[in-house]
Structure 1
Amino acid sequence: MPRVARARLPRVRVFLSLGTAALLTVAASSCAQKTTAGTASAASGSASASCGTNAPSLYKPGQLTVATDSPAYAPWFDNNDPSDGKGFESAVAYAVAAQLGFAKDQVKWVVEPFNSSYAPGAKNFDFDINEISITADRAKAVDFSTGYYTANQGIVVLDSSKYANATSLADLKSAKIGVQVATTSYEAVGNVIKPTQQPAVFNGTDDAAHALKNKQVDAIITDLPTAFYISGAQIDGSKVLGQFDYTGKAGDQEQFGLLLKKGSALTPCVDGAIAALKSSGELQKITDQWLSQSVNAPKLS
C-alpha cells in the first residue's frame, strides 16, 4: 500500500491534563486496533477474491473450467461423464471447486487430450485432472498442484498367459509389454522392468487393453486403479498380476497433480484447497470410496 503524505500542520502548543492525555492515548490505541483489523479483513478479502468465483485469473469469469481427456475411464470417472461427480477424479475436482467457493453448476468441463495437457502454451481451462503424474520435465512447461494421489503401477495379464503365475518383475523380462505413450508407466517399463523386447506403445489404455485381449501383447502396465478397471470391466479372463512402485527420475514416489498453465495465479489456491481436503479427511474418504480395491494386488519387485 503506498505511503500517504501527511499534511504539514502549524505547530500549536497545547496543554493537557493527565486525564485528558490518558483518554487520548486509549482512543488512539482503539483506532489503531480498528485500522489493523480493517487491514487484516481487507487482506483476507483480497486473498478470497484471488481464488474464488471473482478471481481475475479464471479462464472464464464466474466459472471454474476443468479439463480431462475423452473417453474418461472408471474408476477415475463414471460412464464417460465427468460432470456427474462420480469416480475418484470427478469427486476430487468438485471437492476442490467447493473449497474455492464454486457451486457444482459453476464447474464446466472441457476435453483436453492427455498428451496435449502438459505442452507449453496457453490453456483453455483453469486446471486439468487426468491422472497426470508430476514430473520435473513437465513442470518446465506447466504448473502442478501438490499431489492428490500417490500412484503405483499395475500389471494386467490374461489368465491363460504363460506369465499369469509370475511372482517377480524379473519374470516379465521376456514379455511383450503394452503401455500408453508419454506416460510414467512407459518410463517405469524401461527403467524398472527393462524387458528384452521393445514395449508396444499405444495412444490410450483402450488400445492397450484391446491388444492384450487379442494376445498381441503379453501384459500391459498402467496405474493400478486403471489396471483393476481393465481387468474387471474390459477383459474377461484377465487379472491384475501385481503392483510395483515407480519413484521416477527424481527419486520421488509418483503422484498425480492438478495441472495448470505455467505461472497461474490459481496454483496456490488449488494447493490450499487440496491441503484443506487432506486435513479434514475428505480426500481420504473420496479415495476410500472410489479406489479402495487398489490395496488388493500383491507387491512385486
Structure 2
Amino acid sequence: MPFAPSFRRAAAATAAAAAIALTLAACSAPSTETATSDDSALQTVTEGKLTIATGEPNYEPWFVDDDPSNGEGFEGAVAVAVAEELGYAADDIVWVRTTFDGAIAPGPKDWDINLQQFSITDERKNAVDFSSPYYTTTQAVVAVGDSSAASATTIDELKEATVGVASGTTSYTVAKAQLGEANLSVFNSVDDVVLALKGGQIDAMITDLPGAFYVVGAQLDDGVVTGQFPDADGGDDFGIVLPKDSALTADVTAAVDALREAGTLDELQQTWLSDAVDVPVLK
C-alpha cells in the first residue's frame, strides 16, 4: 500500500535533518591527527622552531668557538638537551644574540629562551620568567702560573698558601669553612683581591667559578683556575630566562627538571666545567 503524502514528507524531512547534522559535524570536528598536533604544539616565536638567545661574544667553557650552534660548551650543551626534551632537534633551533641587560629588561622578546649565566633573583623575576636552576655555582681557586698554589690539588695543600677573598661574599664563607682563617687575606672587593694577586701580595684567590673564568680570561695574563670546591651551598642558581608570563615556562622547567633527575646536568657539568677546562674538584 503506498505511503500517504504526509508520511513521505515527514520521512524526507527527517532524512534531510540527519544529512545536515552529519555535514555540520564533519565541518566542525577536526580530525584526530589535527587535534593531537594542535594540542601538543608549543607556542614559540616561529612555528616548528625553538629560538634560543645568548650573548655575543660567548666565552668558553659556556660556549665553544663563539658558535652556539655547535652544541659545545656547558650552556650550549644544556640548551640542546633542553630543546630535545621539548621535542626539537638541533636543526629546529634558531640561534640569536642579545645583550645581557636587554635580555632581563621588561618588554616583548623575539626569542623563546635565553642562556647567559643568568642568576635567578627575585628582582629579575619582576621582568622575566626563569626556569628551575640548571647549575649552581661552585667556588674556585685562581692562582698565577708560577705560584705554588697553581699546582695545589687538595684543600690541605691550599692551606699552605696565602689566599685572598672578598669580605661579605659566599666565597668568604666557603673559604673560611674549608681553609680556616689562618691563611686568609680579606679584602673589600673582588677587584681588590685581583689587584693583590697581580701584585704578589697573595698566592691565590677564591671566587665563584664563572668569576674565576673571567679573571683568568680578562684580568690576569698568567692566571689559572686550579680547582673548585665540592660544596655548592650558597652558590648562585643559574636559570633559563623566558619572556614574562611565557607559555613555555612550565614546559622548559619540566625539561630542566627531567635532565637533572636523569643525571644529565651533572654529566654536562663534569664534561664542560671540570674535565674540558681541567678544573678538578679539590679533595
Q: TM-score range by the shorter chain?
A: 0.5 to 0.7
Distance in 2 between residues matched to 1:187 and 1:261, nearest whole Å? 30
Deviation at 1:270? 0.6
Deviation at 1:94? 1.1
> What is aligned with 2:255?
273
Matched, 1:296 2:276: no
Q: Within 5 A, what are the aligned runs for 1:1-301? A: 48-49=40-41, 51=42, 55=43, 58-159=44-145, 167=159, 171-172=163-164, 188=170, 195-200=186-191, 223-224=208-209, 227=212, 231=216, 237-240=222-225, 243=228, 253-293=235-275, 296-298=280-282
Deviation at 1:124? 2.2
Distance in 2 between residues matched to 1:260 and 1:61, nearest whole Å? 17
Deviation at 1:233? 11
Task: Report the aligned-residue RMSD.
Answer: 4.3
Check the 8 A contact 1:142/1:262 in 2, yes or no: yes
Check the 8 A contact 1:67/1:129 in 2, yes or no: yes
- Where 2:257 maps in the other structure, the secondary structure is helix
User: 5+ unaligned residues in a row in structure 2: which ranges?
Assistant: 1-32, 151-156, 176-184
Check the 8 A contact 1:225/1:291 in 2, yes or no: no
Q: TM-score when scaled to structure 2?
A: 0.63
Are the structure 2 counterparts of residues 152 and 282 from structure 1 closer, same or farther at C-alpha, using a change threshold of 3 Å?
closer
Are the structure 2 counterparts of residues 85 and 241 from structure 1 closer, same or farther at C-alpha, using a change threshold of 3 Å?
closer
- Where 1:274 maps in the other structure, the secondary structure is helix
Are the structure 2 counterparts of residues 230 and 121 from structure 1 closer, same or farther at C-alpha, using a change threshold of 3 Å?
same
Check the 8 A contact 1:189/1:221 in 2, yes or no: yes
Distance in 2 between residues matched to 1:200 and 1:75, nearest whole Å? 22
Distance in 2 between residues matched to 1:192 and 1:282, nearest whole Å? 26
| Higher-Rg member (1/2) | 2
Are the structure 2 counterparts of residues 46 and 69 from structure 1 closer, same or farther at C-alpha, using a change threshold of 3 Å?
same
Distance in 1 between residues matched to 2:87 and 2:196, nearest whole Å? 44
Are the structure 2 counterparts of residues 115 and 167 from structure 1 closer, same or farther at C-alpha, using a change threshold of 3 Å?
farther
Are the structure 2 counterparts of residues 106 and 213 from structure 1 closer, same or farther at C-alpha, using a change threshold of 3 Å?
farther
- Where 1:272 maps in the other structure, the secondary structure is helix
Report the number of matched residues: 234
Check the 8 A contact 1:72/1:80 in 2, yes or no: yes
User: 5+ unaligned residues in a row in structure 1: which ranges?
Assistant: 1-40, 178-185, 202-207
Q: What percent of counterpart residues are identical?
A: 41
Are the structure 2 counterparts of residues 169 and 148 from structure 1 closer, same or farther at C-alpha, using a change threshold of 3 Å?
farther
Deviation at 1:63? 1.8
